[in-house]
Amino acid sequence: MNMELRPSQKQTITHQMIQSSEILQMNNMELEVYLQNLALENPLLDFEEPPEEDIRKKEWLNALDEQNRVYEKQERQEASDPWNLDTAMTETLEESLLLQVNGLDLPDEKVRILHFLIQSLENNGYLSTPLEEIASVCHCSLTEAAEALALLQTLEPDGVGARTLGECLSIQLKKIAPDQALALRIVQDYLDLLGKNQIPAIARALHRPQKEVLEACSLIRSLNPKPGSSFGDRHYMPYIRPELVIIRFDGYFDILLNDSSIPALRMNSYYLELLKEGKTEDTARYLRKKKEELEQIQSSIRHRFGTLLSLGKLIVEHQQDFFLHGPGHLHTFLQTTAASILGVHESVISRAARDKYLQCQYGIFPLSYFFVQGMDQKDEVKNKIRDFIEKEDKSHPYSDQKISDLLAAEGTNVSKRLVTRYRTAMQIPAMSGRRFYEK
């Protein structure tokens, strides 16, 4: 038997390493729940009261954005736009309507039909169930069902109970601007042209000056096409709590770790004294074990915070064009590249990015969004198309053929049909939909 000694190197994976990886992988909400559960198991764990500076930081971060926006000014503009209302409210549409119905003096039979109508509404406030079906289920006549619906449509929010977009806008116009006959006519007969921004075509069809049509269309656009969207959903709506916040200043970016929801840990002084006294060996052994466990967790949390902050700085550095100009300006950036720069294994980057989010002036994005494989020609063409459209004169926007010609002038030969396909895929309106008309 030949025996040979061979040198070998073997890494031992310890419990602490596993625990550190698990904590790194947790997002803020998961870590918060984990620590709350740990407090039930480890008597040495106490949560520190945050210092005044951290309290101010938490208030500041909360004030940054109630609707997942960094800048309060932008958030207020979003909130004031009725075509883009936030849905993260506490009161549901159903609760609001039932409260209004309960305040009316109505026969029990009509209340019963109204309750069924309210419960049949979609989250956006529309009624998709046919009146015939409602009459059948409620064991009432079609006339009674129609009367109940007409009553429902008088409640707030304006436009609730509509069956179509046209009906929704018509209800609102009749309530808030009953004298605006032109706007009502456009909503009832020319909504498809309005959706395509075909203002001149509407003016010609109605034989009215374009200025009057523009004013009527401005009124229509001020209405709410989804009256139920200002209320909470019937179902649970998760709230994203970003781990990183990127603030843009003149000439630089500030990368903040959004750790305000993670409580600071400390050792319980009573049990530490008990450990020093060591009255019984069993008690001392148990407390030593819990103390070591808590120290390891504190170390793992510090490591998590440091890794996230380093990763955030790296993302901003490599994707600076995105933070300057917004979506559509990402560059190739691999997790392997990030791992090499930070001197860690690729799996560390993968765990750090998992289910975690970054908040900036353009919204909230998963960290994985910023890791981009090599850009192919299609991506480059799409970016060029978007750039041309962003820089065009909105009173004379480019046609798809013009964009094709501009690409050709730069040495990229793309047919008009392909430009149309890419523009549609990016959900960018056609030339007519992008045109701005002077009043």
Question: Which of 20-29, 75-84, 172-181, 417-426 shows the lowest mean pLDDT across its residues?
Answer: 75-84
Percent of the chain residues past pLDDT 90, beyond the cut: 25
pLDDT exceeds cutoff 90 at 153: yes
Which homologous superfamily does the CATH classification assign to the domain defined by 377-434? Homeodomain-like (1.10.10.60)
Question: Which of 134-148, 226-240, 285-299 shows the lowest mean pLDDT across its residues?
Answer: 226-240
- pLDDT one-digit tens code per residue, 257-309: 988 778 888 887 787 777 777 667 777 788 888 888 888 988 999 999 999 99
Helix intervals (H) in 247-376: 269-277, 281-318, 320-325, 335-342, 346-353
Confidence tier at 10 by pLDDT (50, 70, 90)? very low
Give the closest residue to 64 by CA, choosing from 262, 242, 231, 263.
242
What's the chain's Rg over C-alpha atoms? 30
The whole-angstrom separation of Cα 316 and Cα 253 is 8
DSSP 8-state secondary structure symbol assigned to residue 207: T
Residue 68, pLDDT score: 45
Residue 11 Cα distances to 17, 192, 324, angstroms = 11, 67, 43
CATH fold label, 89-236:
Arc Repressor Mutant, subunit A (1.10.10)
The structural domains of the chain, with segments of one domain joined by +, span 14-80+240-374, 89-236, 377-434
> Cβ neighbours of residue 71 under 8 Å, at least 6 residues apart?
64, 65, 361
pLDDT exceeds cutoff 60 at 87: no
Residue 49, pLDDT score: 64
Confidence tier at 61 by pLDDT (50, 70, 90)? low
Confidence tier at 254 by pLDDT (50, 70, 90)? very high
Torsion sign over Cα 36, 257, 352, 330: positive
Residue 197, pLDDT score: 80
Mean pLDDT value across residues 380-406: 88
Residue recorded with tokens 């031992």: 12
Whether residue 55 contacts residue 298, with contact meaning beta carbons closer than 8 Å, is answered with no
Q: How many CA atoms lie within 13 A of 351 on its CB side?
A: 18
- pLDDT one-digit tens code per residue, 73-84: 443 343 334 444
- How many other C-beta atoms are found inside a 10 Å radius of the C-beta of residue 308? 23
Same fold? 89-236, 377-434? yes
In the chain the first and final C-alpha atoms are separated, in Å, by: 99
The whole-angstrom separation of Cα 216 and Cα 185 is 10
Residue 416, pLDDT score: 84
Mean pLDDT value across residues 337-359: 91
Question: Which of 38-47, 65-74, 326-335 shows the lowest mean pLDDT across its residues?
Answer: 65-74
